Amino acid sequence: MNTQCSGGKTYIDLQYHQLDMLMRESAHFAIQVRKLMTLLDDRCRALIAELNLGQPQDVIGVTPLTGGVASDIAKVDLTTGSICVKFALPKLKVSENWEAPVHRNAAEYAWLELASDVHPQSAVQLFGRSATQHGFAMEFISGDDVYLWKRAMLEGKQPKGEAAAVGDLLGKLHSASTEEAFDATPFQNHDDFFALRLEPYLLFTATRHPDVADKLSALATHLKAANRVLVHGDVSPKNILFRESGPIILDAECATMGDASFDLAFCINHLILKAVHVSHIRMELLHSIHEFWNSYARYIKWEAASVIEERVCKLLPALMLARVDGKSPVEYLNAEDQSFVRTSAIRLLHDAPNTLHEFVRIFVTALQKERQ
């Protein structure tokens, strides 16, 4: 076997060179990781001290938590127990360039306070927020009865009424925000919502699909101007924990006054995408869309339920398309699944039904035909 390369080098020489380069890169990466860990550790200790939760020396461990792209989140072990801390990031951890204001942390904390007031048993305990560090501390949720809704679905576990429970909680929160006495001052965050949701999900996707760009742009324009209901902005199964007392919705950093249809379509979209991916509980997940909507709809009193449902049906295919071709595509769909979702979304954008029942029927028919 000839091991000579041009210039007299052997393949073995090249392999050693590549190995050396990899080792140098790995060493550099390890140094950067240590720097980031040190920075996070220092920020956690400073936050603990500022919020009077302990002294820096009371911190006995800091463990970064995964799952989000918009914040640094960590479990902080104190001599008195464990808590969770969260700091907003100015640049999100995605492949595309996606920047967002760090003051959004204030709206998130205010939303969590509202959730605690409206439905305490489905809320996380809060320990304080720092305006200077753009971070806050809250309960670290753990226990044998605690599970993440996203993980349960991706593992193919049979639904246990989760969608209905989330719809019920979301209905209570939306309804509370329409009361005359509700203070909407902390939630006038339309520019932040635009930066975190409308631009990366709708307008960026419009640049990749000129044939439906006008529809996506029109949806974005409407959603930015809406101001009727307090919108969470990220009602995703990855942000919803379940324990015996019910669902806990976290990660409300997109919270703003807006249109209720956004939260509804955002959550339903995840049920649709996971139904495409997890075939053996597909019909159960699609049926749970109706359970979600029925539980939610009984709280609607600020406008006709049918009008909101129609807006959900128009927005839903736009979000489906965004999760394959926007700035934040879901990670679990393969190329075949992405192609089906893309084709279905574009078709539904051009001809959206007025009810979720009809939407699901059309989607199921297309999926069954595709997978025959």
Binned at pLDDT 50, 70 and 90, residue 353 comes out as very high
| Average pLDDT value for residue range 165-169 | 98
What's the confidence (pLDDT) of residue 27? Answer: 56
Copy the structure tokens of residue 311.
């807006």
**DSSP codes of every residue in 93-135:** SSSS--B--TTHHHHHHHHHHHHHHH-GGGS--EEEEETTTTE
Amino acid letter, residue 262: F
- Specify whether the backbone of 314 is left (phi greater than 0), alpha (psi in -120 to 50) or beta: alpha
Binned at pLDDT 50, 70 and 90, residue 12 comes out as very low
**What is the average pLDDT value for the chain, to the nearest integer?**
89
**Complete domains list, the chain, with CATH:** 1-140 (3.30.200.20), 143-370 (3.90.1200.10)
Contact in structure between 222 and 202 (CB atoms under 8 Å): no
pLDDT at residue 340 tops 70: yes
Task: Quote the CA–CA distance of 92 and 81 in Å, as a whole number.
Answer: 30
pLDDT above 90 covers a percentage of the chain that reads: 75
Contact in structure between 189 and 256 (CB atoms under 8 Å): yes
Nearest to 299 by CA among 173, 113, 121: 173
pLDDT at residue 96 tops 90: no
pLDDT at residue 115 tops 60: yes
Edge to edge, what strands does the sheet with 135-139 contain?
59-65, 71-78, 81-88, 135-139, 126-130
pLDDT at residue 94 tops 60: no
pLDDT at residue 14 tops 50: no
Tell me what percent of the chain is helix, strand and coil, each rounded to the nearest 5: 60, 15, 30
- pLDDT for 28-65, tens place per residue? 545 454 555 678 888 899 999 999 999 988 999 999 88
Contact in structure between 362 and 345 (CB atoms under 8 Å): no
pLDDT at residue 162 tops 80: yes
Question: Cα dihedral angle (370, 344, 92, 56), rounded to 10 degrees?
Answer: -70
Measured from the Cβ of residue 60, the count of other Cβ atoms closer than 10 Å reads 10
What's the confidence (pLDDT) of residue 92? Answer: 52
What's the confidence (pLDDT) of residue 103? Answer: 72
Binned at pLDDT 50, 70 and 90, residue 362 comes out as very high
| Average pLDDT value for residue range 312-333 | 97
Binned at pLDDT 50, 70 and 90, residue 71 comes out as confident
What's the confidence (pLDDT) of residue 72? Answer: 84
pLDDT at residue 224 tops 80: yes
pLDDT at residue 6 tops 60: no
Residue indicated by tokens 């965050």: 189
What's the confidence (pLDDT) of residue 245? Answer: 86
Residue indicated by tokens 């199964």: 237
156-162 long-range contacts (CB < 8 A, ≥24 apart) are: 156/278, 156/280, 156/281, 157/281, 158/281, 158/284, 159/281, 159/284, 159/285, 159/288, 161/291, 162/240, 162/242, 162/247, 162/288
Contact in structure between 42 and 50 (CB atoms under 8 Å): no
Binned at pLDDT 50, 70 and 90, residue 102 comes out as low
pLDDT at residue 15 tops 60: no
pLDDT at residue 130 tops 70: yes
Compute the Cα dihedral for 190, 192, 196, 198 and give only its sign: positive
DSSP class of residue 194?
I
- pLDDT for 141-154, tens place per residue? 999 999 999 999 99
- pLDDT for 281-305, tens place per residue? 999 999 999 999 999 999 999 999 9
**Alpha helices by DSSP H, 278-304:** 282-297
What's the confidence (pLDDT) of residue 134? Answer: 87
What's the confidence (pLDDT) of residue 3? Answer: 45
Task: Quote the CA–CA distance of 167 and 41 in Å, as a whole number.
Answer: 37
